Structure 1
Amino acid sequence: MTPEARHRLADSLAAARRGGRQIAPPPELPADAEEGYAVGADVAALLGWDRRGWKIAATTAEMQRRLRASEPIRGPIYARFVTAAPATLDHAALLDPIVECEIVLRLDHPLPPRDAPWTAAEVEAAIGAAHGGIEIAECRYPMDALPPTPGILADGAGNGRYVLGPAIPDWRARDLAALPVSLEVDAVVRRTGSGAEAMGHPFHVLLWLAEALRRRGEGLAAGDLVSTGTCTGMLRPAPGQRHIARFGEDCVVPLAFA
């Protein structure tokens, strides 16, 4: 992208965020993931909103195919869009929303910038809790005009709202990869899956993110949330529906759409 096109796109996406609206993809978009993330960083700087953590998407081959990505992708979670369960959201205020049931990791210890790669043991030790959660993904581009992946990265990887449920009991002693996850809509099970949908295990997602940020000279802070990717695929909600995400038998996350 030319510098002028990059600035125009960042300005347009930031304005769309502030106005809660969508825009048509411009003729010139980021050419690759590096440019996409750079525009996304410009948008975040223009907004100046507090970041609560990171969302990860495309953690399975099927989701990468759908998103036309060659690896997982990341975007910021903004603090203003995190709500504790049970939650009710105004469907009319959302932009082509997609419901995804996700295991959300909360860090108790930072993973700061450093030269040496992170180990799996170090990353796991930084986790303070594993929560059940629901991502309501949104995009500032209309669903019927989605650009290639670099353009989506410029829009924060389609980040939207997040409903944070309770911590999963005994999460450290359990096999989160084998944890059954389901999504009910108006008391009917519509989607099922497991924690293994998140790159084989949610901890693998956190390690991938820590390394992706480390290579850019960035890190993770204590208190950050990491939404590790959908365990149940994607589902479009409708006004008036009541959704319940279940993570095993003892972690329930209710969400209603007004």
Structure 2
Amino acid sequence: MEKSLAIAEVLAYVRQNRTPLAELPPEAIPHDEADAYRVQDALHNLLSPHFGTQVGYKIGCTSAVMQQYLGIDHPCAGGLYMGSVHASGASLRYADYVHVGVECEIAVRLAHDLTSSGEPFTAATVAPAIEAYFPAIEIVDDRYADWRGMDPRALIADDFFAAGCVLGKGVAPGNAPDLLSVTGRAVVNGVEIGRGTGADVLGHPHHALAWLANHLAAQGKTLRAGEFVLTGSLVQTAWLNAGDEVWMELSGLGSVAVDFKA
């Protein structure tokens, strides 16, 4: 636990001071993914006083385009904090990030806890827990001198690039389209830079939610009512410049916008 806290303190310093992190020395890299998530837990405790209580999770690497881009062939989770969840139309400071990027996502908010019964969660068993779907922009931050040289275990420990999100208006499940047919378009400064569909997210965003519920259950944790989950990007990450304006549309769910002022 002492090692986990020591690594978490380094990552928390980087997050709070926006200092690019060079590759961690071998002795500071978590032993395995389970160890990486223990460091992440310690990091959440250190960051909550600064960024607000944890209000949910992001899931990364749920689409082929992102798995190929990051070179990681399985989903990874990170935390979301109250102070980094914004409403559509937000204007954020570019300087508040090391190198900010955006991703196009389908988010969900839970109506009730997903308590483990001992059986694995499936797409079918998590669906009734969804209170609403949201068009979402995940905000990610490249907090590293060279992220391609970072060990994936270190990326997981550091919330897997998570830096918040921007949410559009919620859509009740009864009013939502078939998520497989939802097309997401990512537009930066009026130019479309990527598109994908709900089917790209592990075959269906509900599969991503089930993965997260099982991942947390294995740690003795539970997804709680009211928490948000970003189910994974439909497009490759777009890294931004100061002054960029971002607009994303998810057909049948609506649109969401944010700009990053200089």
TM-score by length of 1: 0.91
CA contact (8 A) 1:183 1:244 kept: yes
Given that 1:114 and 1:214 are in contact with CA atoms closer than 8 Å, whether structure 2 keeps it comes out as no
- 1:201 and 1:250 map into 2 onto residues whose CA distance is 15
**Separation in 1 of the partners of 2:175 and 2:152?**
34
- Structure 1 residue 169 displacement after superposition: 6.7
CA contact (8 A) 2:131 2:173 kept: no
Shift of 1:111: 0.8
Distance 1:245 1:42 in 2: 33
Q: What residue is the counterpart of 1:11 in the other structure?
A: 9
1:192 correspondence with 2:188: no
SS in structure 1 opposite 2:30? coil
Could you tell me the percent identity over the aligned residues? Answer: 32
Counterpart in the other structure of 1:159:
162
Q: Alpha carbons of 1:145 and 1:237: their partners in 2 closer, same or farther (altered >3 Å)? A: same
CA apart distance, 1:101: 0.7
CA apart distance, 1:178: 1.1
Give unmatched runs, 5+ long, in structure 1.
none
1:121 paired to 2:124: yes
Q: 1:88 to 1:143 in 2, by over 3 A?
A: farther
| CA deviation after TM superposition for structure 1 residue 22, in Å | 2.8
SS state of the match for residue 167, structure 1? coil
What CA distance in whole angstroms lies between the structure 2 residues aligned with 1:165 and 1:42? 31
Q: Deviations over 1:34-64 (max 9, x none)?
A: 1211111111122344111010010123422
Match status 1:30 vs 2:30:
yes
After TM superposition, the structure 1 stretch with the greater mean CA deviation from structure 2, 150-159 or 55-64, is 55-64
2:147 corresponds to 1:147: no
Question: Which residues in structure 2 correspond to 1:130-141 (within 5 Å)?
Answer: 130-141=133-144
Asked if structure 2 preserves the Cα contact closer than 8 Å seen for 1:9 and 1:39, the reply is yes
Q: Select between 15-24 and 231-240 the one with higher mean Cα deviation.
A: 15-24
Residues 97 and 237, structure 1, Cα contact 8 Å, conserved in 2: yes
| Aligned residues of 2:99 and 2:240 also touching (Cα < 8 A) | no
Correspondence for 1:237: 240
- Tell me if 1:221 matches 2:224: yes
Greater CA deviation, 13-22 or 38-47? Answer: 13-22
Q: What code does the residue aligned with 1:163 have?
A: V
Residues in 1 aligned to 2:142 and 2:246: alpha-carbon distance in whole angstroms: 21
Residue-by-residue CA offset, 1:217-244 (whole Å, 9 max, x unaligned):
1111100100000012211111122111
Distance 1:67 1:250 in 2: 27
C-alpha distance 145-4 of structure 1, shift in aligned 2 (>3 A): farther
User: Cα–Cα, structure 1 residues 250 and 132, in superposed 2: closer, same or farther, change >3 Å?
Assistant: closer
Secondary structure, counterpart of 2:103 in structure 1? strand
User: For residue 201 of structure 1, what is the aligned residue in structure 2?
Assistant: 204
Query: Match for residue 252 of structure 1?
Result: 255
Distance 1:173 1:66 in 2: 30
Does the Cα contact within 8 Å between 2:133 and 2:171 map onto a contact in 1? Answer: yes
**Bigger mean CA offset, 193-202 vs 45-54:** 45-54
Residue 21 (structure 1) shift = 3.1
**Which piece of structure 1 moves more, 244-253 or 205-214?**
244-253
- Of residues 50-59 and 34-43 in structure 1, the stretch that sits farther from structure 2 once superposed is 34-43
Distance 2:72 2:126 in 1: 25
Which segment is superposed worse, 167-176 or 199-208? Answer: 167-176
Matched, 1:72 2:70: no
Could you tell me which amino acid in structure 2 is paired with residue 54 of structure 1? Y
What CA distance in whole angstroms lies between the structure 1 residues aligned with 2:113 and 2:240? 35
Shift of 1:187: 1.9
Give the TM-score taking structure 2 as reference length.
0.90
Calculate the aligned-residue CA RMSD, in Å: 2.0
- How do residues 167-178 of structure 1 correspond to structure 2 at under 5 angstroms? 167-168=170-171, 173-178=176-181
Q: Structure 1 residue 208: deviation in Å?
A: 0.9
Q: Does the 8 A contact of 1:139 with 1:155 survive in 2?
A: no
Specify which structure has the higher proportion of helix.
2
Asked if residue 20 in structure 1 is aligned to residue 23 in structure 2, the reply is no
- The aligned counterpart of 2:41 is 41
